[in-house]
Amino acid sequence: MTTACSAFALVCVSHLSAQTPLNMPLSRDLAEEHVVTRAVDRRAALREARAAEWEAGRISIAGQALRFKFKVFGTRPDVGRSLFISLHGGGETSAAENDNQWETHASLYTPYEGVYLTPRAPSDAWNMWHQGPVDGFIDVLIENAIVFEDVNPDRVYLLGYSAGGDGVYQLAPRLADRFAAAAMMAGHPNESQPTNLANVPFAIWVGENDNAFKRNSGAREWAARLDALAQDHADLPRTPPLYTHVLNVVEGAGHWMNGKDAAAFLWMKGFTRESWPKVVRWKQDDVTRNRLYWLGLDAAGVAAHLASGGVLGATVEGNEIRLDVPAGVPAVTLYLSDKLLDLDRPIRIRWNDSQPETARVQRSDELIASEIGARLDVGRAATAMYRIERPMDDRTPAPGPALVPRNAPEAKPE
């Protein structure tokens, strides 16, 4: 194979040998080349399939449509453009009013560099940015911006104002592995949780007097939760620190912050996405996901994870992975890369307090093809995978009558 690629490995001329079997084990260098080549092919296919929808500013998924506007600012950097996905306000009102909110929001900010993209919410409900279909629309918008505007997937940012800020509280944790950073302006967190934001710097902007829906007090409460999470993880050094965040309360302001929140752009631009974080913390939302970063769950695992209400945690040290798995989750799939650990060496995997399991994995073009086919994202494409099941010594026995050994004293109730 020969390749000639740009700094962010998407604008690339390449050739993959036709003799390479899908299931042939790959070296580290060959796997990286296969990732780039698969991405080039996928990019070409998407350019042909989606050119009309990008030109029209409208995408459709499963019978629902989302319109969008975008503007491109500044000169394209060598590493690719930034993408700012900016969510408008409005909510449970008329379609005309939400259209007006969208039109206004499309010119609300002017970043000095990047693609400023404003989608029109696919519904006119109070939770228009919370609903499940939004996740799929966001993924398509990111892919299309990569294909048509040379966006760097490690420089994608999420922001929103008012009801759009509500959406940022929800979507940034749910889709944490998509974003380099996020900024919430004048929204309300509702029931959202910041647990998944270990690797997504998060800015909160709110007016001091924005009392409606308790936006100001809700912002302070969310910042306090992030404070606590950051403190809990202070012994895990990382740059930037885990749960990096900032709370900006604009003095004297109500719901409108007089443009001071535009400072969030410069703050967000200071961060690039951590595609292979050594620390992952994952809690399910009411809109569930089957993957976050390099952790995956099957349908039974997703249901058990949601039912547990717990946090699935993963920490990498050297070539060892420590999993902290809520009760009931039967198995976890690890999507792996040499960017996370050394795939040529044995990997020790510890599930809760059970004895560690030693795994050897092989890099696979079949997996690479599946990864790039599912999502055009060179930086996060796994080259190997391993499924680990809950160890026998960590399983909770099924409820039933206790068997008491003959001549043994009965257990006293606790």
Q: How far apart are CA 215 and CA 219, in angstroms?
A: 6
Nearest to 157, CA basis, from 105, 83, 207, 226: 83
The CATH fold of domain 57-269: Rossmann fold (3.40.50)
User: Model confidence at 25, in pLDDT bands (50, 70, 90)?
Assistant: confident
Q: Which amino acid is at 414?
A: E
- Sequence-distant (6+) residues with CB within 8 A of 307 are 328
Query: Over 60: is that where the pLDDT of 13 sits?
Result: no
Collapsing DSSP to helix, strand or coil, 103 comes out as helix
pLDDT, tens digit, 9 for 90 and up, residues 300-338 = 999 999 999 999 999 999 999 999 999 999 999 999 999
Contact 193, 214 (CB under 8 A): no
What dihedral angle (degrees, nearest 10) is formed by the CA atoms of 187, 192, 196, 198? Answer: 50
Work out the burial of residue 388: count CB atoms within 10 Å of its CB; fewer than 13 is exposed, 13-18 middle, 19 or more buried: middle
Collapsing DSSP to helix, strand or coil, 379 comes out as helix
Query: Over 60: is that where the pLDDT of 15 sits?
Result: no
Give the pair of three-digit tokens for residue 123: 């519904």
Contact 327, 301 (CB under 8 A): no
Nearest to 70, CA basis, from 141, 159, 169: 141
User: Model confidence at 23, in pLDDT bands (50, 70, 90)?
Assistant: low
Domain spans in the chain, listed from the N-terminal domain onward: 2-48+277-394, 57-269
Query: Over 50: is that where the pLDDT of 364 sits?
Result: yes
pLDDT, tens digit, 9 for 90 and up, residues 199-218 = 999 999 999 999 999 999 99
pLDDT value of residue 22: 56
Q: At what angle do helices 133-149 and 28-56 cross, to 10 degrees?
A: 100
Q: Return the bridge partners of 280, or none.
A: 314
pLDDT value of residue 372: 97
pTM of full prediction above 0.85: yes
Handedness of CA 41, 46, 49, 55 (dihedral sign): negative
Collapsing DSSP to helix, strand or coil, 305 comes out as helix
Phi, psi dihedrals of residue 37, rounded to the nearest 5°: -65, -45
Q: Identify the weakest region by mean pLDDT among 21-30, 35-44, 55-64.
A: 21-30
Q: Where are the alpha helices (DSSP H) in 67-212?
A: 95-105, 133-149, 163-174
Contact 153, 72 (CB under 8 A): no
159 CB neighbour count, 10 Å cutoff: 29
Q: How far apart are CA 294 and CA 336, in angstroms?
A: 6
Q: How far apart are CA 159 and CA 88, in angstroms?
A: 9
Percent of the chain with pLDDT over 90: 86
User: Greatest CA span in the chain, whole angstroms?
Assistant: 82
Query: Over 50: is that where the pLDDT of 402 sits?
Result: no
User: Model confidence at 20, in pLDDT bands (50, 70, 90)?
Assistant: low
Q: Return the bridge partners of 334, or none.
A: 295, 386
pLDDT value of residue 239: 86
Give the pair of three-digit tokens for residue 15: 């050739």
Give the pair of three-digit tokens for residue 399: 């409820």
Phi-psi domain of 190 (left: phi exceeds 0; alpha: psi -120 through 50; beta: other): left
Give the pair of three-digit tokens for residue 289: 């996901």
Pairing between β-strand 295-296 and β-strand 347-351 as defined by DSSP bridges: unpaired
Mean pLDDT (whole number) for 255-281: 97
Query: Over 70: is that where the pLDDT of 4 sits?
Result: no
Contact 187, 169 (CB under 8 A): yes
Mean pLDDT (whole number) for 124-128: 94
